[in-house]
Chains A and B, each alone.
Chain A
Amino acid sequence: MSVHQPAEDTQPEGAQIEEEARGAAFRHGPDGGLLNLGEAVRDAAVAAAIAFILAGPFIGLYTAIAGGRLTMTSRPWGIAILVGVVFVGRLAINLLWRPVGPTIRERIGALFAARPSGALAGRGVAILSAVAIAAAVLLPFTPFGTREILDQGIKILIFTMIGWGLNVVVGLAGLLDLGYIAFFAFGAYSFALLNAYFDLGFWTCLPLAGLISAFAGILLGFPVLRLRGDYLAVVTLAFGEIIHLVLQNWDEFTGGPQGLRGIPAPTLFGIPFARGEGGFADRFGLEYTPVQRIIFLYYVILLLALITSAVTMRLRKLPIGQAWEAMREDEIACRSLGINTTMTKLTAFGIGAMFAGFAGAFFATRQGFISPESFISQDSFMFVAFVVLGGLGSQVGVVLAVAFITIITDLQQLQLYRMLIVGLSMVLIMVWRPRGLITTRRPTVRLPLPRPSTSPARA
Chain B
Amino acid sequence: MFQVRIHGRGGQGVVTAAETLSIAAFLENKHAQAFPSFGSERMGAPVLAFCRISDKEIRLREPILEPDALIVQDPTAIDLPRVFIDVVPGGFVLINSPVPLVYQQQNITMKCIDATRIAIEQIGRPIPNAVLLGGFSALTGVVKIDSVIEAIKTKFFGTIAEKNICAAKVAYEKIIEES
Task: Tell me whether A and B are bound partners.
Answer: no
A residues apposed to B, CB below 8 Å: none
